[in-house]
């Protein structure tokens, strides 16, 4: 049973370019979450999606960031016009349903974005 798959694992972009990070949840999971980890900090919630729906994007910066989880294919986190402060590790997690009995999320290995 494959885990949460994220790609690319590493991405380098110059300021002003676009970054696209992809996440395929675990088989059977229809709930996807994106978290961001800045250096020396814990993971911060960004967005929660179900298929074709954004449920909660309260942790997303108001500009330049967007996320989607289409009916077919992986979830995409898109960052337009990247700036140096966007450099971070972006983790995707999935769960079979929200607020499950264990509250456990299954995380991918992360995508590390470096903005030059």
Partner 1 sequence: DQQVKQNSPSLSVQEGRISILNCDYTNSMFDYFLWYKKYPAEGPTFLISISSIKDKNEDGRFTVFLNKSAKHLSLHIVPSQPGDSAVYFCAARANDYKLSFGAGTTVTVRA
Dihedral angle, C-alpha 3, 40, 104, 29, nearest 10 °: -40
**Closer of 17 and 106 to partner 1 (Cβ):** 106
**Closer of 18 and 56 to partner 1 (Cβ):** 56
Closest CA to 43 of 53, 51, 33, 58: 33
Q: Where are the beta strands (DSSP E) in the chain?
A: 5-7, 10-13, 19-24, 31-37, 43-50, 53-56, 65-68, 75-79, 88-95, 106-107, 111-115
For the CB of residue 84, give the shortest distance to partner 1 in the complex, in Å. 21
**Closer of 18 and 52 to partner 1 (Cβ):** 52
For the CB of residue 37, give the shortest distance to partner 1 in the complex, in Å. 8
For the CB of residue 64, give the shortest distance to partner 1 in the complex, in Å. 22
Residues that bind partner 1 (CB under 8 A): 4, 6, 31, 33, 35, 40-45, 48, 55-56, 91, 93, 95, 98-99, 102-110
């Amino acid at each position: 049973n494959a885990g949460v798959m994220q790609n690319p694992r590493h991405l380098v972009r110059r300021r002003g370019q676009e970054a696209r990070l992809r996440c395929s949840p675990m088989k059977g999971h229809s709930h996807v979450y994106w978290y961001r980890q800045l250096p020396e900090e814990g993971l911060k919630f960004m967005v929660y999606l179900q298929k074709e729906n954004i449920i909660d994007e309260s942790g997303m910066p108001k500009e330049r960031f967007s996320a989607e989880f289409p009916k077919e294919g992986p979830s995409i986190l898109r960052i337009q016009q990247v700036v140096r402060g966007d450099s971070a590790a972006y983790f995707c997690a999935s769960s079979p349903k929200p607020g499950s009995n264990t509250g456990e999320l299954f995380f991918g290995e992360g995508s590390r974005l470096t903005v030059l």
